[in-house]
Amino acid sequence: MAPRARDEIMVHDSIEAKGDEDIDMEDAPLDGNGGGRQSGAAGAPTEVDGNGDADADADIEADADGGPDTDGAVDGEGQAEDGEPTDTSTVRRGKGGGRGRWRNVEDPHKELRQLIDDTQRYLCAYKEDGEQICDPFQRIPRKNIMPEYHEVFSNPIAFSTVRQKLVKKEYTSFSQFVHDVAQIFRNAQVFNRPNSLIFKYSVRLLDIFKEKLQELINDGSIQAQDAELPDFGELPPVEDSPSPDPEDEEGEDEDEEEEEEEDDEDDDSDDEGGRRRGRRRGRTSKKDADDDDDYHKKRGRPPKVFTPTEARIHAILKGLRKPKNESGTLRVLHFERLPDKQLNKEYYQTIENPIALDQIKRNAKRKKYRNVDELLADLELMFGNALQYNEEGSDIYDDAVELQKVARQLVDLEKGKSDDAFRDEEGKLPLSEVQHNGETWKVGDWVHIRNMNDLQKPIVAQIYRLWQDEAGKKWINACWYYRPEQTVHRVSKRFYKNEVMKTGQYRDHLVDDIVDRCFVMFHTRCHKGRPRGFPADKEIHVCEARYNEEKYTFNRIKTWTSCLPDEIREKDYEMDLFDVPRKIKKEPTPIAHLLAPDARETDPLPKPNWGAKDAPPIIGGVHIRPREANHTQGYGHHHPPQQQQPHFVPSPAAVPVGHQHHLPTNPYVTQSFTPSAVPVHQPPRMPMAPTASNTAIPHANANANMYNPPRPIEVYHLRDDIDAAIPSEVREQYQTDDKGHVLFFTAPPLNRPHHGVAEENATLGHSVRYLADIKKHRAERERKRKERDEALERERAETVAREKEMREQRERELGAVAGQMLGNYFLGLQRGNEILEKELEPVRAEKAAWQAEKNAGKSRQQELLLQQ
């Protein structure tokens, strides 16, 4: 169905918001043979989904991890998604569409169920303005996605429940079906506001249902008493929703798409509720998001940045969902999933390499296709299997032929596009890798990112996306992992050394923010060894749980691969095993001293101390509130990683420096530094003056959440491009680090004890004779130094005089040569003039004679004129 209009704010969230809403997908209608079967994927008959509708969860945009739900989470109907009841009737292959048919069994309610099935399919297929308005009511939202819905309704129901009851043959009267349908629309009207689109759809569909019931009464299919709607009473009063910000309309589709992606993740992520709470608690505009007090709890998924190849594959798979047959049914529905192996063994005996669209989408999500030709090869195999198994002229055979043509056309179309055509609306060009500090960074790499709240504790993160913006800058999107001291927890909680917790924070950073490489190991492996080939000087962290920033809870991770990017979920790393597995106990929380001396179990949860917006908390908090069900004390033997560092060890810290994001004023750091400075995460080479106000001393009676700020930066270097501009002759005169950066210190060095004498020699003295003659020795040294200086001064003076005399002599010689050359030049000019004069004398005489003759002729002419 179309995206929900923005003027339709809901009380909580719609019943259907977590369902199968996808503008590119439609539910598969049930076969009309009176049962609960439909044609299966890859052109083979198969069992219908337990919900009775075509399962669209395998869609490339709806499956958060590209695989089946590994946690076995319970869906809205209380049935495990992969374990819903199926009918045991046998199927057989046949013509006329290749669909399986029910075995004839005497059933007194068969006609009743057929009538119910026809009626519910009529409602589900009803369209207005070309859209099936019943789509939002197809499935119940999962309890772990929308728990408040299940708190409101003890009997949640959707059309998938109706179809499931048909499969189980639970309907024995038509009035039961009427009650269920009325309950579906009633629940929608109770849970949603009257101005919401869902509410309006429920009212309209209820009217359509009443009209259909009247038709059934008129034609004698049912009795009037069977069509009576139950009386649920008046709807509870609600206030009208305020007008939403129109800017939010742009992000509505993206929000729903993200929720669909998360729907199939295992329960390890269920408690990261911050991602899903945005729409339940009312929406704020993007304009005001940065000013929201809840900014730090904002969650997200990695941005959808497709490489050109991924974008082509995505467009091809999306294009396959558009063709429909003569009856208006999507042709691709037959190919969604493979048939059940137990119910259709013949298919697997006939087809050597079975494959369905859900597997192809999963491969695409896992980035297994290097180009569109590899995708086309799998599509050709899928359609070829359908052509091989089904008889010519059947519906599935015809659909396979048509889709095969469409797939080839789509591949040719996508190949003709240039890579630049796949830049997104923000101008992002996806990258497979980036270069930084002489290293190559890819998706899945673990990194330390500059922490603007405490540069001594970089952010532990994993890269999910890489891209380049229009300005040529390279970016990463990374998932943050918090350290224990950055979380809020019970004071009795214990942690591994170097433990971190996965969060729902997926943040964008410039590649320049990467400080170093690190590694995070799952707690079940860290005691066995280290990643093979991982440098010994790099830090290794341990992860056991997810951290929910909204509820301040920890949830043990059951499946580590669910925490990793799609690209590396099926890749494992080799290990260099220890000779003997290492065992060690967890250690107490490093911020136990923050507990208030008068703390009580009834105290509210402490809040973390936030600093810069785009950084983890400066410090978390501890409490003694009762332990919740999902909390574990953490005592006993555990297996930490090899790389370990104690918390809060005094060492040079760094203050925030220039960053690509706007940073608010940090109340804990008052000293300002050059924006281009880059902190050096290593002890300075010169002792620095300690500042009493910045000394962090754990105190047993400290107030709750009292922050002990880190020591300010003591040594730093300039950015690489600025440092490279320093001439080598200047660089050699200053201290540098191991990479050649010139080091800058923020304070002068302290006076060393014993006046610079080494400590082991500080107690040594001089003899009496030496002390008695020391003045003579010093006077002698001074005399020799003076004589040497005078000799050097005389030598310099002589050199200057000699150079001056030589310079004057050369100037005289040059002057004489220049005068002679000028004299010869002018003399040559004079002689040339004399020669020219002699050569011109005959010419001038001849000219004078000619002029005289001319004048004489004129005189004669005048005389003749006068005589006449």
Q: Say what the pLDDT of residue 773 is.
A: 86
Does pLDDT of 655 surpass 50? no
Question: What is the average per-residue pLDDT within 93-107?
Answer: 44
Q: Say what the pLDDT of residue 9 is.
A: 34
Q: How confident is the model at residue 641 (pLDDT cuts 50, 70, 90)?
A: very low
Q: Which residue did the predictor score with more confidence, 554 or 273?
A: 554
CA distance 354 to 347: 9
**SS in 3 state form for 610-661?**
CCCCCCCCCECEEECCCCCCCCCCCCCEECCCCCCCCCCCCCCCCCCCCCCC
Question: What is the average per-residue pLDDT within 632-660?
Answer: 41
CA distance 825 to 153: 117
DSSP class of 34: S
The size of the chain, in residues, is 868
Question: What is the average per-residue pLDDT within 810-831?
Answer: 92
Q: Say what the pLDDT of residue 213 is.
A: 94
Which residues touch 78 (CB under 8 Å, ≥6 apart)? none
CA distance 803 to 307: 72
Does the residue 623 lie in any domain? Answer: yes
Whether residue 240 is found in the same domain as residue 277: yes
CA distance 296 to 292: 9
- Report the DSSP pairing between strands 539-548 and 499-510: parallel
Q: Which residue did the predictor score with more confidence, 670 or 553?
A: 553
- With H, G, I as helix, E, B as strand and everything else as coil, classify residue 132: strand
> Of 264, 302, 6, which is closest to residue 145 (Cα–Cα)?
264
Lowest mean pLDDT among 277-281, 301-305, 727-731: 277-281
Does pLDDT of 37 surpass 50? no
Instruction: At 421, list the tokens.
Output: 């055509």
Whether residue 361 is found in the same domain as residue 465: no
Question: What is the average per-residue pLDDT within 193-216?
Answer: 90
Q: Say what the pLDDT of residue 420 is.
A: 67
- DSSP code string of 96-118: SSS---PPP---TTHHHHHHHHH
Give exposure, 203-222, as e/b (b: 16+ Cβ within 10 Å). Answer: eebbebbeebbeebeeeebb
Mean pLDDT, the chain, integer: 75
Which residues touch 92 (CB under 8 Å, ≥6 apart)? 100, 101
Q: Say what the pLDDT of residue 311 is.
A: 81
Does pLDDT of 86 surpass 80? no
Does pLDDT of 170 surpass 80? yes
Q: How confident is the model at residue 233 (pLDDT cuts 50, 70, 90)?
A: confident
Whether residue 379 is found in the same domain as residue 488: no
Largest CA distance in the chain: 162
CATH of the domain at 532: 2.30.30.490
Question: What is the average per-residue pLDDT within 60-70?
Answer: 37
Q: How confident is the model at residue 117 (pLDDT cuts 50, 70, 90)?
A: very high
380, 404 Cβ separation under 8 angstroms? yes
- With H, G, I as helix, E, B as strand and everything else as coil, classify residue 548: strand
Question: What is the average per-residue pLDDT within 18-29?
Answer: 38
65, 264 Cβ separation under 8 angstroms? yes
> Of 123, 115, 109, which is closest to residue 181 (Cα–Cα)?
123
Does the residue 201 lie in any domain? Answer: yes
Does the residue 842 lie in any domain? Answer: no
Amino acid letter at 442?
K
Residue 308 has a CB neighbour count (10 Å cut-off) of: 18
Q: How confident is the model at residue 686 (pLDDT cuts 50, 70, 90)?
A: very low
Q: Say what the pLDDT of residue 337 is.
A: 87
CA distance 106 to 89: 13
Whether residue 326 is found in the same domain as residue 441: no
Q: Say what the pLDDT of residue 380 is.
A: 92
Residue 694 has a CB neighbour count (10 Å cut-off) of: 16
CA distance 182 to 187: 9
Q: Which residue did the predictor score with more confidence, 281 or 420?
A: 420
191, 11 Cβ separation under 8 angstroms? yes
Whether residue 587 is found in the same domain as residue 496: yes
Q: How confident is the model at residue 546 (pLDDT cuts 50, 70, 90)?
A: very high
> Of 55, 72, 73, 75, which is closest to residue 63 (Cα–Cα)?
55
Domain housing 479: 429-654
Q: Say what the pLDDT of residue 619 is.
A: 92
Does the residue 859 lie in any domain? Answer: no
Most confident listed range (428-437, 684-693, 762-771)? 428-437
Instruction: At 392, list the tokens.
Output: 């010519």
Q: How confident is the model at residue 304 (pLDDT cuts 50, 70, 90)?
A: low
Q: Which residue did the predictor score with more confidence, 99 or 363?
A: 363
Whether residue 190 is found in the same domain as residue 101: yes
Lowest mean pLDDT among 187-191, 546-550, 558-562, 647-651: 647-651
Whether residue 334 is found in the same domain as residue 301: yes
Most confident listed range (28-32, 306-310, 395-399, 581-585)? 395-399
> 679: part of which helix (H) or strand (E)?
strand 677-679
Whether residue 388 is found in the same domain as residue 452: no
Q: How confident is the model at residue 238 (pLDDT cuts 50, 70, 90)?
A: low
CATH of the domain at 185: 1.20.920.10
Question: What is the average per-residue pLDDT within 639-664?
Answer: 39
CA distance 292 to 100: 56
Count how many Cα atoms sit within 13 Å of the Cα of residue 392 in the half-sphere of its side chain: 0
- With H, G, I as helix, E, B as strand and everything else as coil, classify residue 587: strand
DSSP class of 424: -
Whether residue 447 is found in the same domain as residue 590: yes
Q: Which residue did the predictor score with more confidence, 586 or 275?
A: 586
CA distance 430 to 467: 4
65, 569 Cβ separation under 8 angstroms? yes
Q: Say what the pLDDT of residue 423 is.
A: 67
CA distance 311 to 372: 10
CA distance 633 to 727: 58
Does the residue 789 lie in any domain? Answer: no
Which residues touch 210 (CB under 8 Å, ≥6 apart)? 229
pLDDT, tens only, 463-503? 999 988 888 899 999 999 999 999 999 999 999 999 999 99
**Bridge partners of residue 442, in order along the sequence:** 433
Which residues touch 131 (CB under 8 Å, ≥6 apart)? 1, 2
> 47: part of which helix (H) or strand (E)?
strand 45-47
Question: What is the average per-residue pLDDT within 603-630?
Answer: 87
Q: Say what the pLDDT of residue 106 is.
A: 65
Helix boundaries (H) for 86-222: 110-125, 147-152, 159-168, 174-191, 197-218
CA distance 150 to 14: 12
Most confident listed range (24-28, 202-206, 704-708, 757-761)? 202-206
Whether residue 377 is found in the same domain as residue 447: no
Does pLDDT of 634 surpass 50? no
Q: How confident is the model at residue 822 (pLDDT cuts 50, 70, 90)?
A: very high
Share of the chain above pLDDT 70, in %: 69
Question: What is the average per-residue pLDDT within 66-80?
Answer: 38
582, 525 Cβ separation under 8 angstroms? no
CA distance 265 to 569: 13
CA distance 172 to 661: 64
Does the residue 825 lie in any domain? Answer: no
Q: Say what the pLDDT of residue 864 is.
A: 87
Q: How confident is the model at residue 716 (pLDDT cuts 50, 70, 90)?
A: confident
Q: Which of 384, 415, 446 is the last residue of a domain?
A: 415
Question: What is the average per-residue pLDDT within 65-89?
Answer: 38
CA distance 443 to 463: 5
Whether residue 476 is found in the same domain as residue 574: yes
Burial-class residue 778 by CB neighbours within 10 Å (0-12, 13-18, 19+): exposed
Does pLDDT of 710 surpass 80? no
Does the residue 616 lie in any domain? Answer: yes
**How many domains does the structure of the chain reveal?**
2
354, 345 Cβ separation under 8 angstroms? no
**SS in 3 state form for 465-516?**
EEEECCCCCEEEEEEEEECHHHCEEECCCEECCCEEEEEEEEEEEEHHHEEE
Helix boundaries (H) for 332-371: 345-350, 357-365
User: CA dist 698 to 182, 421, 655, 713, Å?
Assistant: 63, 57, 21, 21
Q: Which residue did the predictor score with more confidence, 461 or 682?
A: 461
**Bridge partners of residue 543, in order along the sequence:** 500, 522
Count how many Cα atoms sit within 13 Å of the Cα of residue 693 in the half-sphere of its side chain: 5
Does pLDDT of 826 surpass 90? yes
Q: Which of 610, 625, 654 is the last residue of a domain?
A: 654
Does pLDDT of 579 surpass 80? yes
Does pLDDT of 725 surpass 70? yes
- Chain CA centroid to CA 310, Å: 16
Q: Where are the beta strands (DSSP E) in 336-428?
A: none
Q: Say what the pLDDT of residue 750 is.
A: 75
Question: What is the average per-residue pLDDT within 349-355?
Answer: 91
Question: What is the average per-residue pLDDT within 452-459?
Answer: 89
Give exposure, 391-427, as e/b (b: 16+ Cβ within 10 Å). Answer: eeebbbbbbbeebbebbeebbeebeeeeeeebbeeee
Q: Which of 603, 636, 654 is the last residue of a domain?
A: 654
Whether residue 495 is found in the same domain as residue 373: no
pLDDT, tens only, 127-160? 887 788 998 899 898 777 777 888 888 779 999 9
Does the residue 593 lie in any domain? Answer: yes
Question: What is the average per-residue pLDDT within 529-533?
Answer: 92
